[in-house]
Structure formats: structure tokens, C-alpha cells
Structure 1
Amino acid sequence: GDPARLPGAARPLADAVPQRVDIPALGVTAPVVTRGLDARGAIDPPPYDQPGVVGWYGAGPKPGAAGAALLVGHVDTTTRPAVFYRLSTLKPGHTVRVVRADGKVAEFTVDDVRVLPRDGFDAHLAYGPRRPGRAELRLITCGGSFDRAAGSYTANVVVSSYLTGVSG
């Protein structure tokens, strides 16, 4: 993907809570629930018994509003793939849609996909806005390899996107 060919950014929307996220390239349609931080200060994903649910960091920006809104989902459970299992296969130009409580659908275009190691994790790189004043959306899940001793993955997959359209 040639970054120059990506669409221009749309003006940020007013605040509205996210209700659903659709990622057509992955065949994902998932309900969104509000989440806070866990004991380690990371965004607390939905419970493992809800592998098809995506968590939104409720203390941060709302999807479609200015700033970087954060959505987190599991890559898998002990038995099966979960909602963001194929997140790392997204490419610049792919579309992510967030259905909001105000009836609008915020349409985001992926512009960056990266795997960030957990060691020396750069929270600002992962969670901070790339361009001030722009409405951005991050999709975050586990990546790298599963460290059985630690019981966790060695990296995070972070997909960055920005608001390019609104429907509804």
C-alpha cells in the first residue's frame, strides 16, 4: 500500500459510545463493551468467556472523536481463536467500521500495522495519537509467541487507523 493513495482524514465527530465494530476484511462483527485498566495498568480485555467481544477503553477518546480511541480483543482462548485472531493480517487501506450510540457509523482506514514487543513496550507509540486533532482508532491484541512460563504473549499487535468517513 502506497500511503499517498490512502484517503484524507474526515473531521472528528462529537462524542458517542461505541456499540459494535465491523472489520469486513476479517469477517469480524463484534459487540463493544466498556473496559478499564487491569492491575498492571494495561487495558483490561473482555473476559475469556466472551471471546467474540471487543473492549473499548472508556476513559479514553470515543471512536470517531478527536484523539486515539483504543479497542482491545483477545487473539485466542485456551481452546479456540478469538475476535482479533487475524488482526495482524490487516493491511493499510482496509476498512474498520464502528457503530456508535448516536446511530452514526464511523469508518476508519487502516494506515499502520505493527507488532510491538512487550519488553520495553512503548505505550505512547501504541496508544498516543499519531496526528494531533485527528480521530484515530487503535485495534490491539496479543502477538508474538506464547510464553508458557509467563502465561502470556511476547508482543502486542497494534493496528492504527484514522477516521475517513461517516454514514448513518
Structure 2
Amino acid sequence: MVTFAAWSVLVLGLWLWGRELTVPPAPATGQAGAALPGMPAAHAPLAASPPQRVDVPSIGIQAPVVPRGLDKDGAIEPPPYESPGTVGWWGQGTQPGAAGTALMVGHVDTRSKPAVFYGLSSARQGEKVRVVRADGSVAEFTIEDVRVYERADFDAHKAYGPRVRGRAELRLVTCGGTYDKVAKQYTANVVVSAYLTGVGARPAGTVA
């Protein structure tokens, strides 16, 4: 059976990141950040618009997105366990496609089955992440890397902070590593980092 996902490391890291890095970087002039060799150039940031759905076609993710705030302890609320197929977006932070780093979180599993981000660690550099936004646009991000951050040396700035000043960036985050039955939490976080490389319109007849 798949173990129940624990969020203490993840939400603490997001909370620390949010407290210290809430101001997005100033937009750059000209090209919005240099691309890695073999990767597409960054697209200029878009006007702000809330996300409605996130798709990662290469690993079969297609999920609704809901805004999440802070809980009573000051940590980012994960998506409801009753909705394991839903992705949470930090609604007090950057909107995907706008300049800065937008954060999305999802469960890796429930007590009985895989959840929305179960396959996230199998994503690869160069694959696409598409975010359908409330204004009808589709922000297309290209995955830059996939990293596993161990709890023992977790650095919220490194995991969630912007990579290139002025770019529109996206982080998809879930639990990773192994499940510690004593501590009742996972030992690491999986963080997919992507940046905006294109924009399109929602196909006619589709819904969020």
C-alpha cells in the first residue's frame, strides 16, 4: 500500500521561502534570461492571471489547480486529502506566467493509492508543463531540472528561489525520498523547476 504523504518539511520550507522572498524580481530588459545550452529561450513574462489547470503531458498529469493560503501555524496549506487529484497553488505568491517564481504543490500519495504528483520525479529536462490561466491563455513552461532535496540539508532559498532575474518561473513540488515511519514524514522533497518559453490560447471547447 502506498503510504500517507507527510508535509511538514515541504510546508515549512515554503513558509520560510514566502516570508523572505515575497517580492518578485524586477523584469529584465530584452530577453528574459539566458537559456541553458540546447534549451529554448525564455519568453517575456505575461500579465498576471490565476491558474486553473496544470498539465504535464509527458507523465500524464492533468489536474485542476486551487489557490491555497497559510494554515494556523503559518505554513502553506496542501491540497485537501479528499482531493488527491488536485494541485495547490500558493495564491499569495506569483501567478504562473508572471515575473517571479510561482509555486504549485501536490500530494505524492494517499493511504491507499498514488496521488496527482506521484510520477513527478520521472519528469525530465526539456519536457513541457502547460498552465491554463483564467484569462484564457496557456502558459507553456520548459522543465529546466528535477531535483531531490533531502530534509537534512534543506535550503528553501535554493529550492524555491528564482533562478534567473526577470524570468517567469514555475516550481512543482511534492514529497520524495523514503517514508520515515517513526517521524511520520518523507525524508525529502521533489522539486521540478521550469521557466516560461511560450504562450498559447486555450483550445475552443475546452474547460479548465
The normalised TM-score by structure 1 is: 0.95
Partner of residue 139 from structure 2, selected from 106, 110, 123: 106
Structure 1 stretches lacking a partner, 5+ long: none
Question: Which residue of 2 is the match for residue 21 of structure 1?
Answer: 54
Aligned residues: 166
Query: SS in structure 1 opposite 2:152?
Result: coil
Partner of residue 55 from structure 1, selected from 77, 85, 88: 88
> How many angstroms does 1:40 deviate by?
5.4
Q: Is the alpha carbon distance of 1:19 and 1:137 closer, same or farther for their aligned partners in structure 2, counting shifts above 3 Å? A: same
Which structure: larger Rg? 2
State the Cα deviation string for residues 94-120 of structure 1 (Å, max 9, x = none): 000000000000000000110001223
Query: SS in structure 1 opposite 2:37?
Result: helix
Query: SS in structure 2 opposite 1:119?
Result: helix
Q: Deviating runs (4+, > 6 A) in structure 1?
A: none
Hey, which of these two has a bigger chunk of helix by percent? 2
Question: Which residue of 1 is the match for residue 188 of structure 2?
Answer: 155
Query: SS in structure 1 opposite 2:174?
Result: strand
Greater alpha carbon shift after TM alignment, 52-61 vs 29-38 = 29-38
> How many angstroms does 1:39 deviate by?
5.1
Structure 2 distance, partners of 1:40, 1:163, is: 32
> How many angstroms does 1:123 deviate by?
0.6
Partner of residue 113 from structure 2, selected from 45, 57, 80: 80
> How many angstroms does 1:49 deviate by?
1.1
Q: Which amino acid aligns with 1:132?
A: R
The normalised TM-score by structure 2 is: 0.77
Residues 1:134 and 2:167 are matched in the alignment: yes
Residues 1:95 and 2:124 are matched in the alignment: no
Structure 2 distance, partners of 1:160, 1:10, is: 15
- Could you tell me whether the CA contact under 8 Å between 1:43 and 1:72 is conserved in 2? no
